[in-house]
Amino acid sequence: MITLFGSCRKDDNTTILQITVTDGRTGAVSAGATIHLYKDSASVLNNKPTYQATTGADGIATITARFQPRCFILIENGSLKNFYNGYVPAGIFTTQADINNSPSQTPSPSIGDIRFRDNNHDGVINTRDKVFAPSIGLDNNAKDIVDLKIY
């Protein structure tokens, strides 16, 4: 679930964030993906990430960060991303039945197109499904393991 927040509380504690990035189309690890963590919405708007990392050959990046309960996270590797102009990808259309049984989106999708998340559950992908940016929750003084897909 994507959750929006206004700011992150910081204290002197740290968390270790291990992020595994996979290609949602193939399931393969995504080596060389760039990960940007932002502490608040202003940082996202100004494109000023608090932390950046690049995944290794195993698709994993580890970031030791000051604790924040939630952070915005944007990932890209070439043309693949975890976020498209406010829409969060939920998978790939693999069959016509998959298209027929999914919320409608415009333009009409084809097999192989990105399927977007229906955040308000009304059966239609539209501007009411847009989010500011995907976010993740972190645990204080812990190792958080996050698996994310890009499409």
* pTM score of the predicted model: 0.80
Q: What is the CATH number of domain 1-85+132-151?
A: 2.60.40.10
Which residues, listed in sequence order, are joined to residue 60 by a DSSP beta bridge? 20
What residue spans define the domains of the chain? 1-85+132-151, 87-130
Q: What is the reported pLDDT for 143?
A: 86
What contacts 62, CB < 8 A, 6 or more positions away?
16, 17, 18, 19, 53
Average pLDDT over residues 6-31: 81
- Residues 27-39 have pLDDT tens digits of 999 999 999 999 9
- Residues 65-114 have pLDDT tens digits of 888 888 999 999 999 999 998 999 999 999 999 999 999 999 999 999 99
Hunting for tokens 């100004």 — which residue is that?
46
E strand map for 84-140: 89-92, 104-105, 114-116, 124-125, 135-137
What contacts 46, CB < 8 A, 6 or more positions away?
none
